[in-house]
Structure 1
Amino acid sequence: MKLLILGGTQFAGRAVTEAALARGWDVTVFHRGRHAAPEGVAVRLGDRTADGGRATLADGEWDVVVDTWSGAPAGVRDTARLLAGRAGRYVYVSSCSVYVWPPAAGYDESTPTVESSPDAGDVPYAEAKRGGELAVLDAFGDERSLLVRSGLILGPWENIGRLPWWLGRIARGGDVLAPGPRETPLQYVDVRDLAEWMLDAAETGRSGPYNLVSAPGHTTMGELLDTCVAVTGSKARLRWMPAETVLAAGVEPWTDLPIWVPPTQEAHGALHGVGVERALAAGLRCRPVADTVRDTWAWLTSLGGAAPQRPDRTRVGLAPEVEERLLREA
């Protein structure tokens, strides 16, 4: 298989590139040159946001294109149109954020989506991803378009900072504020499982939208944090605190305390209650949380503990002084 990955140097794109190379695929990476591409790929440099920035894609044919773009939909539109006659299938990494928010727990691919346009410029994230989907459909049609609506993605190469923040905080030791309840169910997909499923789906000719995340309740907040303690070898003491206490202190779920959303909030169903029957029936398999946490810690350690950070995303994590105050008052 000949694969063109648009991006391919960080997080989801990197995982797709590594997985394709491991399969012996012929991989071309189109990127801006800001990060080194994995060894073994053909590189075409360019910036789709610049005039003439797609010039290096003017020739070549591929079986599959994978695109992780999350900016203006017009960026997907123009790239997809350029490649429509020279590529077999277009896989667009979208998001469950495209659904009208917040969708009820158990929602599937038939749930209404936000309004958007493939011609849109800079728009909010949900509209950008939906516009990207529409751009792919416009250029490649229903039968040659695979829309991967990912949920929470964790694993090595993460440049958002969610799991890396927890690992780093727990590795420092001491008393760690752990937001309850311990049994709060979590749903995510390891970036490598996401990549493998996308390549399998593209190779077998799947099309249409798929929610791509583990089954609901794949793990719990307690299991995740206990595993962080175990893999880091930390002497940290998890201090479990009721969700009501955490919220009353003005702490923001998902951002101040990454991954966590209280099960009493609507957002929990939207983020950790995604209906994934279609993807599971299409072969999605998700590794245990211990593997994701262990391998993410090994990757972080190889970097000296400092994870990369996407410049277009706000840093996550609880301020130390807020944590100290809450633990002192508990």
Structure 2
Amino acid sequence: MRILLLGGTAFLSRATATEAVRRGHDVTCLARGTAPTPEGVTFVRGDRDADEGLAPVRGRQWDAVIDVSRQPGQVRRAVAELDTAHWVFVSTANVYATPGPGGTSGPPTESTDLLEPLAGEVMASMEDYGPAKVACEQAVVEGMTARGGTSTLVRAGLIGGPGDTSGRLGYWPWRFAHPSGPDVLVPDDPDFPVAVIDVRDLASWMADAAEQRLDGAFNAAGPMVPLAEVVEAAREVAGEAVVPRPVPVARLAELGVNPWMGPRSLPLWIDDPSLRSFAVLDTTRARGAGLHTRPLVETLRDTLAWEETRTTPRGAGLTDSEEQEIRATLDAGQ
């Protein structure tokens, strides 16, 4: 197959390009060139924000286009200008109007109500991320349907694994492997639901979607496990004797510890009850279409190996000094 990847140099798009090449496909990546493309990929320089950004790949027939954009204007232009019979668009669980289980409704399915689409062409801030992706989905479906083609909408949950610079998952095995003291601080919320899909599993299934021209929307996420299981698996792969130290959620807030990701945080966990299960999705349809996910412990082990080699700052978690400061405050009973 002749596959065009709009991107291809970072995390999911890079893993997808690598997998497609491994399968013997002819893969071209259109990107700005801020990072190298995987071996075996044809690199074409282009900026999708420029008027003629797609010019280098126009006028060619592609068997599939894979797109990860969050900008509706970019997607509309690409669908209109590129010649292909199938489009794989990486969307997000954030498109759902009510994320996560609500009452007895259970996790979102592909028929769960979506947010209103972003009206403009440009997503100006992350507050518009969900609506922007809805608008992108609509542009893909409408454009491909009009030309008699097909499209796969990949509504991805939380993605982790080697190469994840956010550090949301990688922080936990790394912290247990590099303790700042006799224990590792964790939220005292052991049942918090976590669903992480390994980037390599998602990339493999996206290659399947391109090959099989899977049509429609598919939730793609890992199985739900409690936070306590993630912490214990991280401790296992680190092979260290340190133990987790649960800290009450209210106390974490008092100590200025942030949820989810970013500086001075304890990742993966969210303290907002309305977002408690936002990453948990009903993946029945995708699994019926061949989505397979590896054991969490394997993802954590490989992520730790990558974390040990990374050259960029980790985007989430507590630094040694922050954890030591918080531990000292807790020990003093303050």
| TM-score w.r.t. length of structure 1 | 0.87
Q: 1:129 aligns with which of 127, 133, 140?
A: 133
Which residue of structure 2 lines up, in the alignment, with residue 189 of structure 1? 197
**Equivalent residue of 2:28, what SS?**
strand
Answer yes or no: is the 8 Å Cα contact 2:192–2:226 preserved in 1: yes
1:207 aligns with 2:215: yes
> Where does 1:1-330 land on structure 2 (aligned, <5 Å)?
1-70=1-70, 72-83=71-82, 86-103=83-100, 104=102, 105-117=106-118, 119-123=120-124, 124-141=128-145, 144-173=150-179, 174=181, 175-215=183-223, 217=224, 219-255=225-261, 256-261=265-270, 265-271=273-279, 273-303=280-310, 306-307=311-312, 315-318=315-318, 323-328=323-328, 329=330
**Equivalent residue of 2:63, what SS?**
strand
d(CA) in 2 for partners of 1:41 and 1:171? Answer: 35
Answer yes or no: is the 8 Å Cα contact 1:300–1:307 preserved in 2: no
Going from structure 1 to structure 2, the CA distance change for 1:196 and 1:179 (only over 3 Å counts) comes to same
d(CA) in 2 for partners of 1:119 and 1:324? Answer: 46
d(CA) in 2 for partners of 1:33 and 1:308? Answer: 21
Answer yes or no: is the 8 Å Cα contact 1:97–1:126 preserved in 2: yes
d(CA) in 2 for partners of 1:308 and 1:56? Answer: 34
CA displacement at 1:233 relative to structure 2: 3.6
CA displacement at 1:190 relative to structure 2: 0.7
- Superposition RMSD on alpha carbons, in Å? 2.3
CA displacement at 1:248 relative to structure 2: 5.0
Going from structure 1 to structure 2, the CA distance change for 1:179 and 1:16 (only over 3 Å counts) comes to same
Read off the aligned partner of 1:126 and give its amino acid letter: G
Q: Identity of counterpart residues, as a percentage?
A: 37
d(CA) in 2 for partners of 1:14 and 1:135? Answer: 24
**Equivalent residue of 1:162, what SS?**
coil
CA displacement at 1:247 relative to structure 2: 4.1
Which structure 1 segments of 5+ residues have no match? 310-314
Read off the aligned partner of 1:15 and give its amino acid letter: A
Answer yes or no: is the 8 Å Cα contact 2:157–2:221 preserved in 1: yes
CA displacement at 1:97 relative to structure 2: 0.4
Answer yes or no: is the 8 Å Cα contact 2:193–2:277 preserved in 1: no
Which residue of structure 2 lines up, in the alignment, with residue 312 of structure 1? none
Which structure 2 segments of 5+ residues have no match? none
Answer yes or no: is the 8 Å Cα contact 1:154–1:188 preserved in 2: yes
Read off the aligned partner of 1:157 and give its amino acid letter: G
Read off the aligned partner of 2:188 and give its amino acid letter: G
d(CA) in 1 for partners of 2:270 and 2:5? Answer: 33
Going from structure 1 to structure 2, the CA distance change for 1:326 and 1:281 (only over 3 Å counts) comes to same
CA displacement at 1:202 relative to structure 2: 2.4
Read off the aligned partner of 1:181 and give its amino acid letter: D
d(CA) in 1 for partners of 2:252 and 2:293? Answer: 31
d(CA) in 2 for partners of 1:200 and 1:4? Answer: 15
Answer yes or no: is the 8 Å Cα contact 1:77–1:118 preserved in 2: no
Per-residue CA shift, 1:130-188, capped at 9, x if unaligned?
A: 12111212221285111100000001111322123333333321221111333433212
d(CA) in 1 for partners of 2:50 and 2:215? Answer: 30
CA displacement at 1:36 relative to structure 2: 0.5
d(CA) in 2 for partners of 1:299 and 1:286? Answer: 19
Answer yes or no: is the 8 Å Cα contact 1:147–1:210 preserved in 2: yes
Per-residue CA shift, 1:244-263, capped at 9, x if unaligned?
A: 4334545332132211135x
d(CA) in 2 for partners of 1:96 and 1:147? Answer: 11
Q: Give the count of matched residue pairs.
A: 316
Going from structure 1 to structure 2, the CA distance change for 1:284 and 1:31 (only over 3 Å counts) comes to same
Read off the aligned partner of 1:230 and give its amino acid letter: E
Going from structure 1 to structure 2, the CA distance change for 1:280 and 1:307 (only over 3 Å counts) comes to farther
Per-residue CA shift, 1:4-26, capped at 9, x if unaligned?
A: 11111111001101111111111
d(CA) in 2 for partners of 1:45 and 1:234? Answer: 45
Read off the aligned partner of 1:258 and give its amino acid letter: P
Read off the aligned partner of 2:139 and give its amino acid letter: A
d(CA) in 2 for partners of 1:222 and 1:184? Answer: 8
Answer yes or no: is the 8 Å Cα contact 1:176–1:238 preserved in 2: yes
